[in-house]
């Protein structure tokens, strides 16, 4: 596997998502259209990877993310994904965290896969509403 053992799909996040500086978005303040878009993004990517294809999501990505999500790189991520997780099954929405400093939004899901369940799947949006990060890692209650 080419990636670190705890990160399966680490892709171009312009700022970190861990540690302090993030706050949970109250459920009644979550943009439901963007939440659905985040879930659709992850589902589209995993489904394409399960078919051995690159997801056609370029217009949804930030400029920085585009550089790290090429067809070649996606094929590598897909290979690692299949080896570690197996086929994608489903996502369960958990929460949204917001960066206090710059408005980055982190949509957190628990992913279900043929070989592993309960891994965190993150879809990160920048302040412009573009996908700026996407990865899976072992679940932790805190961001």
CB 119 within 8 A of CB 136: yes
pLDDT of residue 30: 98
- Full-model pTM: 0.86
Per residue in 24-46, pLDDT (tens digit) is: 999 999 999 999 999 999 999 99
Say how many C-beta atoms besides its own lie within 10 A of residue 10's C-beta.
16
What are the tokens at 131? 């996908």
Nearest Cα neighbor of 34 from 100, 96, 94 is 96
HSE-CB for 39 with a 13 A CA cutoff: 18
| CATH code, 30-137 | 3.10.450
Domains of the chain: which residue ranges? Answer: 30-137
């Amino acid at each position: 596997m080419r990636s670190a053992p705890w990160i399966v799909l680490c892709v171009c996040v312009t700022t970190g998502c861990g540690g302090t500086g993030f706050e949970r978005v109250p459920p009644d303040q979550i943009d439901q259209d963007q939440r659905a878009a985040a879930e659709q993004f992850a589902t589209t990517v995993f489904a394409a990877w399960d078919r051995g294809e690159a997801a056609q999501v370029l217009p949804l990505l930030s400029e920085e993310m585009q550089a790290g999500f090429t067809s070649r790189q996606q094929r590598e991520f897909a290979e690692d994904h299949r080896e570690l997780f197996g086929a994608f099954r489903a996502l369960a929405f958990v929460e949204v965290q917001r960066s206090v400093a710059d408005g980055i939004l982190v949509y957190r899901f628990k992913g279900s896969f043929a070989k592993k369940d309960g891994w965190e799947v993150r879809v990160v949006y920048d302040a412009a509403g573009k996908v700026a990060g996407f990865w899976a890692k072992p679940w932790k209650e805190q961001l």
